[in-house]
């Protein structure tokens, strides 16, 4: 007689893969580790092409799809988190068309920031690409139509976050210059950290702000969304440790930075054909 005991759920070591141009996705990893401890993660950074925020859109779409396809294959991932606003506001549709696993994106937290602001003046601190994207225009129209949104392109701060993670000294003048346009409107009380690199610098931003403001990022919301997606997939256990990949060389300081987030030394990610720099 066949047993009536239900067969155990299939278990897998397949990780959730986090993708960013650089270390910014580690701010999302922090939120994932807090909300989903024990879920195997993998990480890929396209550091050979960083920064993304100043590159042309047509080049970026092809590059992002090529890197994510290669990294999903290398890691055997069961879901992809695009932990990059610059990539998500441009390439989510292309990634979903190219991949058969669920893809979770990261977009600037305009909606919660608009709800939190008392004055109705909010800042959007992001890359040049993200502050000008139609996707961002739509988010602002849909959720912050009643607010004044001060858009600040702060590409230089991406490099500062990379330095922080590598244990290198930061440039205080560079930090102040990046933040300066936020302070011109005395009513601004809330700032969207619309680049995943920036939550890593949040304490530095706070220390340099001339008045208290609320900093809002997307990390916790992304982790909630990933939890929903994982509920629809077989459970996973970590059997091998969390792996990372990079498209370019990684300094000893950054290797230590990755280790601080639970990842092994990033391995080189082979790409099918090198994308010439735009
Ligand atoms: N971390 C990325 C983001 O969220 C961008 C960094 C870059 O410009 O490469 O937009």
Claim to verify: residue 96 and residue 148 sit in the same structural domain: no
Question: What residues have CB less than 8 Å from 264, skipping those under 6 apart?
Answer: 241, 242, 243, 244, 258
Atom of ligand 1 nearest to the CA of 84: 4
Domain count along the chain: 2
d(CA 53, CA 24) in angstroms, rounded, equals 12
Claim to verify: residue 139 and residue 80 sit in the same structural domain: no
**179 found inside a domain:** yes
Q: Which residue, 87, 78, 79, is CA-closest to 108?
A: 87
Which is higher by pLDDT, 12 or 270? 270
Claim to verify: residue 70 and residue 114 sit in the same structural domain: no
Known catalytic membership, residue 84: yes
pLDDT digits (tens, 9 = 90+) for 159-173: 999 999 999 999 999
**Which of 85, 109, 135, 156 for a ligand 1 pocket mutation test, highest count of atoms within 8 Å of Cβ?**
85
**236 found inside a domain:** yes
Query: Which tokens sit at 3?
Result: 């047993």
What is the per-residue pLDDT for 234? 86
C-alpha pair distances (Å), 259 with each of 34, 106, 226? 16, 23, 22
**85 annotated binding-site participant:** yes
Instruction: Give the CATH number, domain containing residue 80.
Output: 3.40.50.1860
* The one catalytic residue among 45, 68, 147, 195: 195
Query: Which tokens sit at 61?
Result: 């779409």
* The one catalytic residue among 45, 68, 84, 147: 84
d(CA 19, CA 40) in angstroms, rounded, equals 14
**pTM more than 0.85:** yes
Q: What phi and psi, each to the nearest 5 degrees, are found at residue 42?
A: -130, 160
Specify the residue for token string 């990480």: 43
Q: How much distance in Å is there from the Cα of 126 to the middle of ligand 1?
A: 8
Q: Which residue, 40, 265, 60, 23, is CA-closest to 163?
A: 23
**275 found inside a domain:** no
User: pLDDT-based confidence at 3, cuts 50/70/90?
Assistant: very low
What is the per-residue pLDDT for 7? 53
Claim to verify: residue 230 and residue 260 sit in the same structural domain: yes
Claim to verify: residue 23 and residue 87 sit in the same structural domain: yes
Claim to verify: residue 114 and residue 213 sit in the same structural domain: yes
Q: What is the mean pLDDT of the chain?
A: 94
Sign of CA dihedral 228, 233, 237, 242: negative
Range of the domain at 83: 16-106+220-268
**1 found inside a domain:** no
Claim to verify: residue 201 and residue 231 sit in the same structural domain: no
**204 found inside a domain:** yes
Percent of the chain with pLDDT over 70: 94
**3 found inside a domain:** no
Task: Note whether 106 and 196 are within 8 A (CB).
Answer: yes
Query: What's the whole-number mean pLDDT along residues 105-125?
Result: 98
């Amino acid at each position: 007689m066949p047993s009536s005991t239900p067969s155990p759920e299939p278990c897998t070591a397949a990780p959730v893969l986090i993708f960013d141009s650089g270390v910014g996705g580690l701010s999302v990893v922090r939120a994932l580790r807090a909300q989903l401890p024990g879920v195997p993660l993998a990480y890929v950074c396209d550091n050979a092409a960083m920064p993304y925020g100043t590159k042309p859109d047509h080049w970026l779409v092809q590059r992002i799809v090529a890197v994510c396809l290669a990294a999903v294959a290398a890691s055997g991932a069961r879901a992809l988190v695009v932990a990059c606003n610059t990539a998500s506001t441009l390439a989510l549709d292309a990634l979903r068309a190219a991949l058969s696993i669920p893809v979770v994106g990261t977009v600037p937290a305009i909606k919660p920031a608009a709800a939190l602001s008392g004055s109705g003046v909010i800042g959007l601190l992001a890359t040049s690409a993200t502050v000008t994207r139609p996707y961002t225009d739509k988010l602002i129209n849909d959720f912050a139509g009643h607010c004044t949104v001060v858009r600040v392109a702060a590409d230089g701060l991406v490099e500062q976050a990379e330095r922080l993670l590598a244990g290198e000294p930061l440039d205080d003048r560079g930090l102040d210059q990046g933040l300066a346009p936020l302070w011109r409107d005395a009513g601004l009380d809330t700032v969207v950290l619309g680049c995943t690199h920036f939550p890593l610098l949040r304490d530095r931003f706070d220390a340099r702000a001339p008045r208290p403001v609320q900093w809002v990022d997307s990390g916790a919301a992304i982790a909630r969304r990933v939890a929903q997606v994982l509920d629809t997939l077989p459970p996973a256990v970590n059997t091998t440790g969390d792996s990372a990949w990079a498209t370019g060389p990684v300094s000893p300081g950054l290797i230590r930075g990755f280790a601080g987030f639970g990842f092994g030394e990033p391995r080189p990610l082979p790409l099918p054909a090198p994308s010439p720099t735009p």
